[in-house]
Amino acid sequence: MPSGNRNTIGFLLKGYPRLSETFIANEIALLEKSGFEIHIFALRNPGERIIHGQVRKINAGVTYLPDKFWPNILYFLSTNIRLWRRMPKNYWHAFKFAFSRSMRRQSVSTIKRFAQAGILVHDKLSSAPVQHFHAHFSHGPTTVAYFVKMLTGIPYSFSAHAKDIYLQDDIEFLTRKIWNAKFAVTCTEYNRRHLISIVGEAAPVFRVYHGIDLNMFSPHRKIHRTRKKPHILSVGRLVAKKGFATLLQALKIIREQGIEFECDIVGGGELRQELQAQIDRLNLQKNVHLHNEKSQQELLTFYQRADLFALACEVQTNGDRDGIPNVLVEAMATATPVVATRISGIPELITHGKTGMLVEPKNPEALAEMLISVLQNSSLRNAMRKAALQKVQQDFDHARNIKLIAEFLNAALSGENIGLVSTLVDIKRSSNSSVPGNTEAVLCEIE
């Protein structure tokens, strides 16, 4: 079925554009620069108020698939019936699989994703033909890609992240999706090992860090000024796994020890009212300020004036957790010392005592003690700034890392051995382990 440009990739996304998924916009923009033609297919329109500037640089158009099942049931049925008539054998095989899984799990989710795949194949691919699909997140988008392959033979790959891995309650289907993919990538070694433990060492699962734009997030932008109060910053969606409740408890301990400070918490989410109530209850109104979500350009101002970045991520009882929060990488790239928690992939970024400091999650006393220790030790902060910047330059340059994704996609399109490409990638990583750059000159003026 594929036709047209050999380098045409269909990106399957949960929603687009999304403020919390800037890494996807960065990936698409850089792949376009590398010569790929991209078509974006989103399962829904998030309708977010703030759009990152990177989105405006993307040439790819976006096609939204119908998301609500029952309100669109007639469209789903009529389109899929026409597709069945066009390809009865493939359609019946895929339908039986989707229907049996939905019946077994007592959920319309799988059959809905199958129906979305049918609409994509019947109505959308004629105007946007693709050679390969790449899905972000291993649940809904990858499920659609899986069914598109069953229907048409168009191959797919996918990126797995965090919630989609650890809240996965259908291990059998996840295993099928991995083994039927050309490759799967994930953003931490912690995630990769978890997936390999499920599907086996031979599975085509590879680690590629997200990375950030090191031209945008730079220590050169740091604001130099003398303050009476240290300035603490935290950024993230206001959801439980980010640990903001623990951070607020730690800040209360710091204030009770007579240490003055200012703290900005930037983000939007379901816990805003609850966190504001906690700020009021702890009498932290003069110290802590909640800000709505910001674009990356707007966030730069906060990083520029911060003395310390804190993030108290934790693992939820249902298994939900972060991978490596991009905001930690952004803080380190702007020469802001970081204190975070020892969970998931965060220790891959932060080596305790070298590139930052780590404490155990859900421990406000330990977090408060560490924040005070870093705030009161300027030589430690300077040493961490230098080491952190080197770490980010070495492993988290998004341009370099997305080139690895491009190599995997080119290999998939040309039928090359993905494992061999991965071996070459590892060799390149080793040869690039020392990144040139005078971090001494960049950082010497900051304190």
Kindly tell me the sign of the dihedral angle through the C-alpha atoms of 164, 165, 166, 169: positive
Q: Give the mean model confidence (pLDDT) for residues 416-430.
A: 63
User: Is 219-393 assigned to CATH 3.40.109.10?
Assistant: no
Helices 109-119/88-105 angle, 10° precision: 160
The confidence score (pLDDT) of residue 443 equals: 54
Same fold, 8-207 and 219-393: yes
Q: What is the pLDDT of residues 287-344, one digit of tens each?
A: 999 999 999 999 999 999 999 999 999 999 999 999 999 999 999 999 999 999 999 9
Phi-psi region of 236 (alpha: psi -120 to 50; beta: other; left: phi over 0): left
Average pLDDT, the chain: 92
What is the per-residue pLDDT across 122-165, written as a single tens digit (0 to 9) for each?
A: 999 987 789 999 999 999 999 999 999 999 999 999 999 999 99
Strand order in the sheet with 338-341: 288-291, 262-266, 231-235, 308-310, 338-341, 357-359
Give pLDDT tens digits for 375-399. Answer: 999 999 999 999 999 999 999 999 9
Close Cβ partners of 260 (under 8 Å, ≥ 6 residues apart) = 228, 229, 230, 287
Q: What is the DSSP letter of 361?
A: T
Residue 426 is predicted with a pLDDT of 60
In the chain, domain spans: 8-207, 219-393
Q: What pLDDT, in 10s, does the model give residues 171-220?
A: 999 999 999 999 999 999 999 999 999 999 999 999 999 999 999 999 97
pLDDT per position as a tens digit, 17-32:
998 899 999 999 999 9
What residues have CB less than 8 Å from 281, skipping those under 6 apart? none
Spatial contact of 157 and 183, defined as CB atoms under 8 Å apart: yes
Class for domain 8-207, per CATH?
Answer: alpha beta
Element spanning 141, H or E: helix 140-152
For the cut 90, the answer to whether the pLDDT of residue 2 exceeds it is no
* pLDDT of 438 above 70: no
Task: Give the tens place of pLDDT for each residue, 221-279.
Answer: 666 656 679 999 999 999 999 999 999 999 999 999 999 999 999 999 999 999 999 99
Work out whether the CA dihedral 128, 132, 135, 139 comes out positive or negative. Answer: positive
